[in-house]
Amino acid sequence: MNKYLIVGLGNPGEEYKGTRHNIGFDIVDYFASKFEAKFKVERFGLISSFSLKGRKLYLLKPSTFMNLSGKAIQYHLRINKVNINNLFVVSDDLHLPFGTIKCKKKGSDGGHNGHKNIIECLQDSTYSRLKFGIGNDFKKGHQSNYVLSPWSNEESLTLRELVKKSSDLILDFCLLGIEETMQNNN
């Protein structure tokens, strides 16, 4: 059976819920709810799993905080015997305008500390990712305040539809692969 690890990046804790930096958690939560998959506490995070069309999907929300996500991903790839080609990491991206959703087959960390740590821990940057644009409407030196702030009222109006679209891309990745997902959606 082909196995997949879908990871939503974010920070654990009530104070981070609904913030831009936690969009990865929100998208993975929505995806899990479509399949009535429940999360349980395991080492380094909350994990859920279910089977879909001959595939085993593991959904992970690391509890290691954003900047140390690599440790959780490394552990769950190993323990669940998932090939790095079947790893899909969902995160925020402030280099993309709000509402832009982009899939990539591999790449650098792009200045994202979560991806930086993943690449360091895995010693590999050839994993697939979904980048959710959060925009960069902040003054110089206020990046951390911006990413840890809640969505604006205007952004909130379209957020649910964008989360749904992102969830659909996760499904495409698992059923069609990254090449076809990028071709159909980027």
Between CA 25 and CA 60 the distance in angstroms is 9
Q: Name the DSSP letter for residue 19.
A: B
Residues classed as catalytic: 21
Q: CA 102, 73, 67 angle in degrees (round to 5)?
A: 75
CB 56 within 8 A of CB 49: yes
The phi, psi pair for 171, rounded to 5°, reads: -60, -45
Q: How many residues does the chain have?
A: 186
CA-based nearest residue to 62, from 82, 42, 88: 42
Give yes or no for a contact between 27 and 36, defined as CB atoms under 8 angstroms apart. Answer: no
